[in-house]
């Protein structure tokens, strides 16, 4: 088949109907541009929200949950092994929240090839005292360097410096807390622990994560300060936070460590299942809208091709009479449709890119997202590949049916009809 000639004929036919062809191509352009803009924006938003959680949540967290012993004394008894046990008024056993043998566990985990790094942490409820009122909150005692490496907390420290936490008796408090208690950097805050210990800590920074429940209650200090505050030894920690190279393995890794160390373990997916749902819903919406727009554009192409074939019956009859086969005619109209689709599609990609750049530069300042100053955009080239493939597939299908019709036109009928 002489493809150059077929393309040449297609282009000539297209030129004869330039206006409609352009309108059809603009339909594709619009569909693709919208698709690109929407998908890039939605995915940017997903990344932002994922990042918001992902960056701050360990992939696996090991801790001790307060709960009743799974094995009550009676279940250990041989005698009543086959009986059903009814035990009432079971109370949780106070094993304490401390992780036993934490140093050895952390050391062991750091050797694991799957793990990026491990950060130890102490979380403990406290009261912040301000005059006569007490505000309940939480202190996180963190390993500053590890925490910074894994969770980049400095992103959320809007005043002061995280490194200053390494000074003795220093604290970084949430913005909500600071506002409520009228405290600023440099002030001293009084703290009462659950066990009644009293301490004064110096505020070296203010943090803002963007979730008011957290900003209203949370504060950070160093592991050592937290241990001192609680009157515990230097091996006292309550949480081991783990980041993995492959986040998708976190459920299985969590399960493995849970059994190995006899600790409670929660993985990222379980802890954030509601965010995953939100992300996939946003993706589905953007793809659905893009596909719908392209289907509309496809109908536009279908229409113009049908019209063109109707008008060009004579030309088709001549082509057939002078030696073009049905399949040649079919390819003429398919290439016609592809030319419209590809041109429209490429312009769609360009416009889509332009739109995303514009969105990317629209200021988006919100108190809850301190690290963001413009709307988020994901520039994944995959979206462009998907976009142009969509354009080719829809225009291919839209062109195929009219092309089949054209290939079946009987020249005798047309010539006789004159």
Partner 1 sequence: MSNIVLETKKLTKYFYDPIQFQVLKAIDMSINHGEFVSIVGKSGCGKSTLLYLLSTMDTDYEGQLYIHDELITGKPDKELAQIRNEKIGFVFQFHYLLAEYSVLKNVMLPGMKLGKLSEKEIEHNAMEHLRTLDMEDQALKMPNQLSGGQKQRVAIARALINNPLIIMGDEPTGNLDKKNSDLVFDIFNKLTEENKQTLLIVTHDTDFAQRTQRTITMEDGKII
Residue of 217, 204, 210 whose CA lies nearest to 177 = 217
Within 8 A by CB and 6+ apart from 396, the residues are 334, 337, 338, 341
Q: Which is nearer to partner 1, 2 or 88 (CB)?
A: 2
Site for partner 1 in 73-102 (CB under 8 A): none
Rounding to the nearest 10 degrees, give the CA dihedral for residues 257, 263, 269, 271: -160
Q: Which is nearer to partner 1, 198 or 415 (CB)?
A: 415
6 neighbors 254 (Cβ within 8 angstroms): no
Least separation in angstroms between residue 417's CB and partner 1 is: 10
Alpha carbon of residue 52 to chain centroid: 9
Q: What number of H helices and E strands is found in the chain?
A: 15, 10
Q: Which is nearer to partner 1, 11 or 296 (CB)?
A: 11
Least separation in angstroms between residue 2's CB and partner 1 is: 5
What region, left, alpha or beta, does residue 279 occupy, with left being phi > 0 and alpha being psi -120 to 50 degrees? alpha
**Measured distance between the N- and C-terminal CA atoms of the chain, rounded to whole angstroms:** 30
E strands present in 65-114: none
Binding window for partner 1 (CB under 8 A); candidates: 54-62, 154-162, 219-227, 410-418: 410-418
Binding window for partner 1 (CB under 8 A); candidates: 82-90, 211-219, 227-235, 408-416: 408-416
Dihedral sign, Cα of residue 255, residue 257, residue 260, residue 261 = negative
Least separation in angstroms between residue 392's CB and partner 1 is: 25
Site for partner 1 in 320-359 (CB under 8 A): 320-328
Least separation in angstroms between residue 5's CB and partner 1 is: 5
Q: Which is nearer to partner 1, 7 or 247 (CB)?
A: 7
Site for partner 1 in 290-319 (CB under 8 A): 314-315, 317-319
Q: With contacts defined by CB under 8 A, how many residues of the chain interact with partner 1?
A: 25
Q: Which is nearer to partner 1, 326 or 370 (CB)?
A: 326
Q: Which is nearer to partner 1, 59 or 312 (CB)?
A: 312
Q: What's the alpha-carbon Rg for the chain, to the nearest Å?
A: 33
403 neighbors 337 (Cβ within 8 angstroms): yes
Least separation in angstroms between residue 352's CB and partner 1 is: 33
Site for partner 1 in 151-210 (CB under 8 A): none
Least separation in angstroms between residue 321's CB and partner 1 is: 5
Cα 226 to Cα 312: distance, rounded to the nearest angstrom:
84
Q: Show the site string, 3-22: x = touches partner 1 by CB under 8 A, - = not.
A: --x------xx-xx------
Cα 383 to Cα 373: distance, rounded to the nearest angstrom:
24
Instruction: State yes or no: residue 215 binds partner 1 (CB under 8 A).
Output: no
Least separation in angstroms between residue 411's CB and partner 1 is: 5
Least separation in angstroms between residue 328's CB and partner 1 is: 7
Q: Which is nearer to partner 1, 65 or 410 (CB)?
A: 410
Cα 305 to Cα 307: distance, rounded to the nearest angstrom:
5
Q: Which is nearer to partner 1, 203 or 316 (CB)?
A: 316
Least separation in angstroms between residue 334's CB and partner 1 is: 17
Residue of 90, 89, 119, 124 whose CA lies nearest to 105 = 119
Within 8 A by CB and 6+ apart from 215, the residues are 174, 175, 176, 177, 207, 208, 209
- The residues that touch partner 1, with contacts defined as CB under 8 A, are 2, 5, 12-13, 15-16, 314-315, 317-328, 411-412, 415-416, 418
């Amino acid at each position: 088949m002489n493809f150059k000639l077929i393309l040449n004929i297609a282009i000539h036919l297209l030129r004869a109907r330039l206006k409609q062809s352009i309108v059809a191509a603009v339909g594709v352009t619009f569909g693709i541009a919208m698709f690109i803009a929407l998908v890039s924006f939605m995915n940017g938003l997903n990344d932002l929200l994922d990042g918001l959680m992902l960056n701050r949540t360990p992939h696996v967290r090991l801790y001790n949950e307060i709960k009743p012993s799974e094995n009550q004394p009676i279940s250990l008894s041989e005698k009543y092994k086959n009986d059903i046990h009814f035990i009432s008024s079971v109370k949780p056993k106070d094993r304490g929240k401390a992780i036993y043998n934490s140093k050895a566990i952390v050391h062991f985990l750091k050797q694991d090839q799957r793990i990026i790094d491990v950060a130890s942490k102490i979380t403990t409820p406290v009261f912040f005292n301000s005059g006569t009122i007490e505000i309940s909150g939480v202190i996180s005692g963190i390993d500053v360097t590890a925490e910074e490496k894994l969770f980049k907390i400095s992103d959320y420290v809007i005043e002061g410096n995280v490194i200053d936490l390494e000074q003795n008796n220093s604290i970084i408090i949430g913005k909500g807390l600071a506002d409520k208690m009228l405290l600023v950097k440099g002030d001293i805050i009084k703290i009462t622990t659950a066990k009644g210990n009293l301490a004064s800590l110096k505020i070296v920074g203010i943090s803002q994560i963007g979730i008011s429940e957290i900003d209203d209650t949370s504060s950070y200090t160093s592991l050592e300060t937290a241990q001192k505050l609680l009157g515990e030894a230097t091996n006292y920690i309550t949480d081991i936070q783990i980041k993995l190279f492959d986040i998708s393995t976190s459920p299985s890794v969590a399960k493995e460590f849970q059994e190995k160390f006899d600790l409670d373990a929660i993985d990222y997916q379980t802890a954030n299942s509601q965010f995953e749902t939100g992300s996939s819903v946003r993706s589905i919406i953007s793809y659905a809208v893009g596909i719908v727009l392209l289907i509309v554009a496809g109908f536009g192409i279908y229409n113009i091709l049908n019209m063109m074939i109707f008008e060009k019956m004579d030309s088709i009859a001549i082509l057939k009479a002078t030696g073009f086969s049905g399949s040649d005619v079919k390819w003429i109209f398919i290439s016609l449709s592809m030319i419209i689709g590809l041109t429209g599609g490429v312009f769609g990609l360009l416009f889509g890119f332009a739109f995303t750049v514009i969105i990317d530069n629209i200021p988006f300042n919100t108190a809850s997202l301190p690290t963001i100053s413009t709307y988020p955009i994901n520039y994944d080239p995959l979206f462009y590949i998907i976009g142009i493939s969509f354009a080719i597939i829809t225009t291919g299908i839209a062109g195929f049916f009219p092309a089949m019709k054209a290939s079946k036109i009987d020249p005798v009928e047309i010539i006789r009809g004159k």
